[in-house]
A and B are shown apart, each in its own frame.
Chain A
Amino acid sequence: MTADGSSLKPPQAARPVSAGPPASAFEGTGTASRALSERIARRFFQVCAMLAALAAAAVIATLASESALFFMEVSPVRFLTELAWTPLAEEPRFGILPLLAATAQITAGAAVVAFPLGLLTAVYLEYYSDPRAARILTAAVIVLAAVPTVVYGYVALNFVTPALRNVWPSLEAYNGISACLVVGVMILPTVTLLSRSALQAVPPSLTDAGLALGASSARVLLRGILPAASGGIAAALALAVARAAGETMIVTLAAGNQPGLTWSPLEGLRTLTAYIAQASMGDAPSGTMEYRAFFAVASVLFVITYAVHALGRWLAGGRSRRRDAAARARPATAGARR
Chain B
Amino acid sequence: MKGFRNHGLIGSVCSFAAAVTLAAAVTPIVILLVQAGGVLDFGFLVGTPSRFAAQAGVGPALAGTLWLTLLTAALACPVGVGAAVYFAEYAPRTRAVQAIESAVSNLAGVPPLVFGVTGLALYVRGLGLGPTVLAGGLTLAMLALPTVVVTSKEAIRQVPAGVRAAAYALGATRWEVLRRQVLPAAAPGILTGVTLALARTAGAAAPLLVIGAASFITYAPATPGDLLVALPTQVFAWSARSQPGFAALAAAAGVVLLALLLVLHLASLALRRRLAGAAR
Q: Spell out A's residues near B (CB within 8 Å).
A: 2-11, 14-15, 23-26, 28, 34-35, 37-38, 41-42, 44-49, 51-53, 55-56, 58-60, 62-63, 66, 116-118, 120-121, 123-129, 133, 136-137, 140-141, 143-144, 146-155, 157-159, 185, 188-189, 192, 204, 207, 216-218, 220-222, 239, 242-243, 245-249, 252-253, 273, 276-277, 280-281, 283, 286, 294-295, 298, 301-302, 305-306, 308-310, 312-313
Contacts and interface: CB of A to CB of B under 8 A. Distances in A.
B205 A249 contact: yes
Given A5-B88, A154-B235, A157-B239, A51 B79 contact: yes
Given A26-B171, A253-B239, A301-B114, A147 B258 contact: yes
B2 A207 contact: yes
A152 B82 contact: no
Residue with the greatest number of chain B CB neighbours at <10 A, chosen from A26, A37, A118 = A26
Q: Which of A46, A148, A207 has the most CB of B within 10 A?
A: A148
A61 B2 CA distance: 50
A146 to B, nearest CB: 6
B236 A49 contact: no
B145 A127 contact: no
B236 A2 contact: no
A185 B172 CA distance: 50
Nearest to A312: B109
B20 interface: yes
A35 B177 CA distance: 14
B199 A146 contact: yes
B46 interface: no
A74 to B, nearest CB: 18
B145 A55 contact: yes
Q: Interface SS of chain B: helix, strand, loop or mixed?
A: helix
Contacts of A242: 109
B240 A26 contact: no
Contacts of B180: 26
B159 interface: yes
Interface in B218-262: 232-233, 235-236, 239-240, 247, 250-251, 254, 257-258, 261
A226 B113 CA distance: 35
Interface stretch (B50-58, B66-74, B98-106, B269-277): B98-106
B8 interface: yes
Contacts of A117: 17, 20-21, 24
A53 B102 CA distance: 10
Given A49-B87, A63-B114, A146-B199, A121 B109 contact: no
Given A48-B82, A277-B113, A298-B117, A58 B25 contact: no
B85 A140 contact: no
15 contacts: A5-B164, A6-B88, A42-B175, A59-B114, A62-B117, A124-B14, A124-B17, A125-B18, A140-B22, A144-B24, A146-B203, A146-B265, A217-B4, A222-B10, A295-B117
Interface string B174-193: 11111110100000000000
Contacts, number: 338
Contact of A188 (B5, B24, B35): B24
A217 B8 contact: yes
B82 A305 contact: no
A158 B7 contact: no
B279 to A, nearest CB: 16
Closest 8 CB pairs of A and B: A246-B111, A48-B82, A309-B109, A148-B203, A24-B171, A120-B17, A124-B14, A52-B83
Nearest to B7: A128
B28 A246 contact: no
A59 B93 CA distance: 25
A56 B103 contact: yes
A298 to B, nearest CB: 4
A153 B247 CA distance: 12
A140 B4 CA distance: 23
Interface size class of B (residues with CB under 8 A): 35 or more
B135 interface: no
A151 B258 contact: yes
A321 B202 CA distance: 35
B13 to A, nearest CB: 6
Given A49-B83, A306-B106, A301 B89 contact: no
B90 A158 contact: no
Given A249-B205, A313-B106, A59 B113 contact: no
Contacts of A159: 31
A48 to B, nearest CB: 3
A153 B28 CA distance: 10
A53 B24 contact: no
Given A5-B157, A56-B100, A301-B113, 19 more contacts: A3-B160, A5-B88, A5-B159, A6-B89, A10-B173, A11-B168, A42-B175, A44-B82, A45-B85, A47-B82, A52-B79, A124-B18, A148-B204, A148-B254, A148-B257, A188-B21, A189-B25, A306-B106, A310-B106
A185 B236 contact: no
A53 B100 contact: yes
A3 B164 CA distance: 10
B104 to A, nearest CB: 5
B254 A154 contact: yes
Nearest to A155: B28
A9 B91 CA distance: 11
Contacts of B63: none
Contacts of A286: 121, 125
A7 B118 CA distance: 36
